[in-house]
């Protein structure tokens, strides 16, 4: 059975959010993450290469769990599933996108930032969300506040997370993993500095103590 997304991502504790400009870049990035001991990546649909990169990584690096990010439309959900993405993420919550992911069996974490959005997600049958943009909207204090009224909700806080904050976030029972671009920022990928990315992945894994 495929474990729920919350459980799946909790194994990693941190999810690198990336934008790549080619399938080859996706592969080199994936190899760097594997060497760094962090076998998970969210490849965002912010570049035209996203689907091709997901397809290449899913086919050639099967030990890497590859998800699709920035799924803003039903068409991007279709493309992510067709490419072989294991999960999907979005910055916000649009019911047609949530429903498309559910119809195709794609484990999906839409973004929420408020109690009302969280309740809309719960009413759509979800219980795991990207909390975005986590730091600007309250970070740890928001997570603690949401735990009272919504004890069953799980989160992947993303947006402004720094490695120094990882342990505090992961100490919250509702937090399965943190997302962020600090491990593989676009500038490092574009510069081909995959060894720095490997080191950043390893450093984040060390902070989690996983
Ligand atoms: C995202 O969309 O997930 C964010 O761009 C990631 O946030 P960060 O760049 O602050 O880590």
Could you read off the pLDDT of 62-80 as tens digits, one per residue? 999 999 999 999 999 999 9
Over residues 23-47, the pLDDT tens digits come to: 999 999 999 999 999 999 999 999 9
Burial class (CB in 10 A: 0-12, 13-18, 19+), 90: buried
What is 20-64 written as a DSSP string?
-SSHHHHHHHHHHHHHTT--EEEEETTSTTHHHHHHHHHHH-TTS
Whether 191 has a pLDDT exceeding 60, the answer reads yes
Are β-strands 65-69 and 87-89 bridged in parallel, bridged antiparallel, or unpaired? parallel
Mean pLDDT of 156-172: 97
Whether 1 has a pLDDT exceeding 60, the answer reads no
> Measured from the CA of 42, which atom of ligand 1 is nearest?
3
Residue 42 a catalytic site member? yes
DSSP H stretches of helix in 44-165: 50-60, 74-83, 95-104, 115-123, 139-147
User: What confidence score (pLDDT) does residue 178 get?
Assistant: 98
Catalytic residue, candidates 7, 11, 42, 135: 42
- Given pLDDT bands bounded at 50, 70 and 90, which one contains residue 2? low
User: What confidence score (pLDDT) does residue 51 get?
Assistant: 98
Mean pLDDT of the chain: 97
Contact between residue 160 and residue 140 where contact means Cβ atoms under 8 Å apart? no
Nearest to 126 by CA among 94, 80, 158, 157: 94
Catalytic residue, candidates 130, 135, 164, 196: 130
Residue 11 a catalytic site member? no
User: What confidence score (pLDDT) does residue 209 get?
Assistant: 73
Other C-beta atoms closer than 10 Å to the C-beta of 167 total 12
Nearest to 143 by CA among 120, 176, 181: 176
Mean pLDDT of 77-86: 98
Q: For residues 49 and 191, give the distance between their C-alpha atoms in angstroms, rounded to a whole number.
A: 17
Whether 207 has a pLDDT exceeding 60, the answer reads yes
CA atoms within 13 A on the CB side of 24: 2
Choose between 25 and 3: higher pLDDT. 25
Contact between residue 41 and residue 30 where contact means Cβ atoms under 8 Å apart? yes
What secondary structure letter does DSSP report for 152? T
Domain boundaries, the chain: 5-205
Q: Looking at ligand 1, which residue's alpha carbon is closest to its atom 1? A: 159
Is the domain defined by 5-205 classed in CATH 3.20.20.60?
Answer: no
Whether 127 has a pLDDT exceeding 70, the answer reads yes
CA distances from 29 to 122, 176, 199 (A): 34, 23, 12
Where does ligand 1 bind, in terms of residues with CB under 6 Å?
17, 91, 158-161, 179-182
Over residues 11-23, the pLDDT tens digits come to: 999 999 999 999 9
């Amino acid at each position: 059975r495929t474990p729920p997304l919350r459980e799946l991502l909790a194994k990693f504790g941190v999810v690198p959010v990336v934008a790549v400009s080619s399938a080859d870049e996706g592969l080199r990035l994936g190899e760097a993450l594997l060497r760094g001991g962090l076998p998970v990546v969210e490849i965002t649909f912010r570049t035209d290469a996203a689907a091709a990169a997901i397809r290449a990584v899913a086919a050639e690096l099967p030990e890497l769990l590859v998800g699709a990010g920035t799924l803003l439309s039903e068409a991007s959900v279709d493309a992510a599933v067709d490419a072989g993405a294991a999960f999907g993420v979005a910055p916000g919550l649009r019911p047609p996108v949530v429903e498309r992911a559910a119809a195709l069996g794609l484990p999906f974490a839409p973004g929420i930032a408020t109690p009302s959005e969280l309740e809309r997600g719960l009413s759509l049958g979800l219980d795991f969300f990207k909390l975005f943009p986590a730091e600007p909207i309250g970070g740890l204090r928001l997570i603690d506040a949401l735990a009272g009224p919504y004890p069953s909700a799980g989160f992947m806080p993303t947006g402004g997370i720094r490695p120094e904050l990882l342990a505090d976030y992961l100490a919250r029972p509702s937090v399965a993993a943190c997302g962020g671009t600090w491990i593989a920022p676009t500038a490092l990928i574009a510069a081909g500095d995959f060894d720095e990315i490997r080191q950043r992945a390893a450093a984040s894994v060390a902070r989690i103590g996983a």
